[in-house]
Structure 1
Amino acid sequence: MKVVDTVLSYAGDYHPQSKGMCRLRVFSGEGGPRVLITDLGACNNGRSVTNAIEMIVDRIEDSGLALGATIFIEHYENPDPERDTFDQVRVSPSVNWHSISKEAAIALLGCDPDELEDRTETNKRIVGRAETLRLSTSRFDASPWPESPEITKRKLEIAEGMISRSSVRALVEAGSGERELQRLLKSDLSIIAEAFASPDGEYICFSELPFGDGSVDFAVFTGRSRMDIILIEVKGAEFNLVNVNHYQEFNHKVLEAAGQLRKRLGLFCRNPEATRRELHRIRAEAERGSPLHNAFLGPNAPLEVDPDKDINIRSVIIGGRTQNVLQESRKRHDYERGTSPQVRLESWDTWLRRIQRD
């Protein structure tokens, strides 16, 4: 049973500029309270819960909100709830994180699964409390905070080199092949990040990234705490995603690409530790300014990810044109749920709807 659902401030007592707050949920259970600590994302005016976890646990104990708690779970929400991350945290004798599934988190907390459907950004009470705390520490927190000159400079550089959504759409509607489409996308990797990076602006993009026994056309490194990696294969727009015939199957070009990606993902699943180390090595080199694999950094770099934590790898294939939105949506859903490792299929029409620029 939930007994507490509030916003906890973990601003430092001895430093006037120290800030930070999180959503705190406490559940009663045998053996003592169980605690869910949710990062507030854009509403958090200080350090992430990962970087402040010891202070947060101390503040919970000092506040008396969860006396005797032994289970602490760190939680990051994602626009797609299925991509939420959970880590069981132990702070004694030293801090360590253990990645767990959503189902394991629910079992440890003893909460109803519907509890995690209560998204923080749509909970008016929690958002209102966070805003009150934020304004109590700084009267200008409701206004945009002046960003650093480095971030502004990088945003301007990216904007100057941007390709338009209409330029991609023109190639798609002309039925262009994969080489022509890849050539345009490689001229501005920010358009790839715009579709897949979360949080916005926190990404590193690559093209022709080595992975497994081959390479992928594009990759986006993003996320916080645990790094999210999206592998992207691009096919042409000269065919329909689903064949217009009696069998109504996916085009063979898309299925061949999906087979290659699943094979490479299988290599990762069989040796995740070595893959994790290598991908973090590539990230660190890119953040130091290396141009390897055409590295393209977003405005908010370096990424706030922990190299010692597990990584999340997802894969997407973009190719073909949509003819029947509802029919293809069902087929794509069935395909993605019915294959392992999972590969997401998108037509150029569905992918272009992700892009916000003109």
Structure 2
Amino acid sequence: MKVIDMVHDYPQGSSRFDRGLCRVRTFVTSVHTVVLLTDLDEKNDGMSVTNAVEHIIKSLHELGIIIGSAIYIDHTERKDPLLDNFEIVTVGSRQGTQWRTASRSEVISLIGGASEELDERSLSNSRIVFRADQLRFSRDPFVDSPWQPHPSIIKRRLEIADTMISKSEIETLISGRASEREIQRLLKQDLSIFGEVYAKPDDEYLCFSEFPLGDGLVDFVVFTGRSRMDVILIEVKGADFNLLNADHYKAFNHKINQAASQIQGRIGKIYREMEPFRLHVHSIRERVERGEQIHNAFLGPCHKLGVDPQKDINIRTVLIGGRTVDDRAESAKRHDFERNFTPPIRVESWDTWLRRLERS
């Protein structure tokens, strides 16, 4: 017979041990008392039952919830009740705390045959969830709130939002089959759009336009990444042509091939002299982070990138241009192009690139 079914707020056992929550069910049979200690997963705001079991058992006795000897079972629920994990725990033996794996059928026998108790998921029991939330919110009223960034990051996000161009503005331009110059003119007004598409982590990026490289300029460049910095070189062409030709060869439009050859020549020089380029881009990064305006620099919400200037950099190249007609055929063509072109260049039509935008 079940005599207790509660959420237990187990206490702090040491300075390194946070308080936690578990479900405690006590079953009394003619033979023994069985205590089922069920971990509450995301509702448990402290140590797991397995790691805190000695503290839990001690606190149950000190509070008088359990009196006398009992069999304790460490219970971890899975999505499928038949896959639950059960460990019978013995505390205070000469060998210290001992665990023995128990089967579901053995546990059902120990609790008096109440199989429905093991079928119910604790987080589907509204009473248990309500009580767990009461305890969690009493400790921290913002426990489920997202991490609060530094005020300077929030301020910069608001500044970026105030000058952000909308997705619909870009879509209108692309739908009108705008020229390369028209598209560049709009995108230069808000370089955060490239951070939105390519930055990882999301808020950590520096963007540039008309970035000097070799004997020419790269349309747009993004610095981002953690530890090793990603340098993303972006060339844009107009939306006034189809990405693939209409003939049976289905080759890339000549504008794409011309641009790819031009990019290949420029980035080939980088790979031949990688160390000077690595030092150069990190020098530019540091100057922009100090507040200098270089190559129309645009700083993302985080004022400094979490990259190591001593480590190698990753170079990625993107070419955006043309319109999609047959997405499946173009996808295969783009994949083959990127895999076989050296150094690799990612080709996007304006239609596929627009899918990456999250802004409204």
Q: What TM-score, normalized to structure 2?
A: 0.60
Match of 2:328 in 1: 326
| Secondary structure at 2:271 match in 1 | helix
Match of 2:298 in 1: 296
Distance in 2 (alpha carbons) for counterparts of 1:243 and 1:314: 26
1:208 to 200, 207, 210: 210
Distance in 2 (alpha carbons) for counterparts of 1:141 and 1:335: 48
- Please give the per-residue CA displacement for 1:269-297, whole angstroms capped at 9, x wherever unaligned: 11100000000011111111111101000
- Residue 348 (str. 1) matches residue 346 (str. 2): no
Distance in 2 (alpha carbons) for counterparts of 1:142 and 1:307: 36
| Secondary structure at 2:259 match in 1 | helix
What is the deviation of 1:145? 2.7
Distance in 1 (alpha carbons) for counterparts of 2:153 and 2:197: 20
Once the two structures are superposed, the pairs formed by residues 104-253 of structure 1 within 5 Å of their partners are: 142-253=144-255
Match of 2:53 in 1: none
What is the deviation of 1:15? 11
Distance in 2 (alpha carbons) for counterparts of 1:225 and 1:271: 21
- Opposite residue 284 of structure 2, the aligned amino acid is I
Distance in 1 (alpha carbons) for counterparts of 2:228 and 2:241: 37
With over 3 angstroms needed to count, the CA separation of the structure-2 counterparts of 1:326 and 1:278, relative to structure 1, is same
Superposed CA RMSD: 2.0
Distance in 1 (alpha carbons) for counterparts of 2:224 and 2:143: 26
Distance in 2 (alpha carbons) for counterparts of 1:304 and 1:241: 37
Distance in 2 (alpha carbons) for counterparts of 1:193 and 1:154: 13
With over 3 angstroms needed to count, the CA separation of the structure-2 counterparts of 1:260 and 1:15, relative to structure 1, is farther
What is the deviation of 1:208? 0.5
Match of 2:266 in 1: 264
| Secondary structure at 2:197 match in 1 | helix
Match of 2:21 in 1: none
| Secondary structure at 2:311 match in 1 | coil
Match of 1:47 in 2: none
Distance in 2 (alpha carbons) for counterparts of 1:296 and 1:337: 31
- Opposite residue 247 of structure 2, the aligned amino acid is N
Distance in 2 (alpha carbons) for counterparts of 1:163 and 1:249: 33
Distance in 2 (alpha carbons) for counterparts of 1:194 and 1:212: 27
| Secondary structure at 1:293 match in 2 | coil
| Secondary structure at 2:295 match in 1 | helix
Distance in 2 (alpha carbons) for counterparts of 1:196 and 1:241: 22
Match of 1:118 in 2: none
Match of 2:311 in 1: 309
Match of 1:32 in 2: none
What is the deviation of 1:311? 0.1
Q: What TM-score, normalized to structure 1?
A: 0.61
- Please give the per-residue CA displacement for 1:53-109, whole angstroms capped at 9, x wherever unaligned: xxxxxxxxxxxxxxxxxxxxxxxxxxxxxxxxxxxxxxxxxxxxxxxxxxxxxxxxx
Match of 1:357 in 2: 359
2:286 to 284, 287, 295: 284
- Please give the per-residue CA displacement for 1:299-321, whole angstroms capped at 9, x wherever unaligned: 01200000010000000000000
What is the deviation of 1:257? 0.8
| Secondary structure at 1:218 match in 2 | strand
Distance in 2 (alpha carbons) for counterparts of 1:151 and 1:199: 14
- Please give the per-residue CA displacement for 1:13-48, whole angstroms capped at 9, x wherever unaligned: x999xxxxxxxxxxxxxxxxxxxxxxxxxxxxxxxx
Distance in 2 (alpha carbons) for counterparts of 1:264 and 1:166: 33
- Opposite residue 158 of structure 1, the aligned amino acid is I
Distance in 2 (alpha carbons) for counterparts of 1:164 and 1:260: 31
With over 3 angstroms needed to count, the CA separation of the structure-2 counterparts of 1:269 and 1:356, relative to structure 1, is same
| Secondary structure at 2:330 match in 1 | helix
| Secondary structure at 1:175 match in 2 | coil
- Opposite residue 224 of structure 1, the aligned amino acid is R
| Secondary structure at 2:211 match in 1 | strand
Match of 2:338 in 1: 336
- Opposite residue 289 of structure 1, the aligned amino acid is G
Distance in 2 (alpha carbons) for counterparts of 1:286 and 1:263: 27
% identity of equivalent residues: 58
Once the two structures are superposed, the pairs formed by residues 80-91 of structure 1 within 5 Å of their partners are: none
What is the deviation of 1:263? 1.1
What is the deviation of 1:339? 1.0
| Secondary structure at 1:229 match in 2 | strand
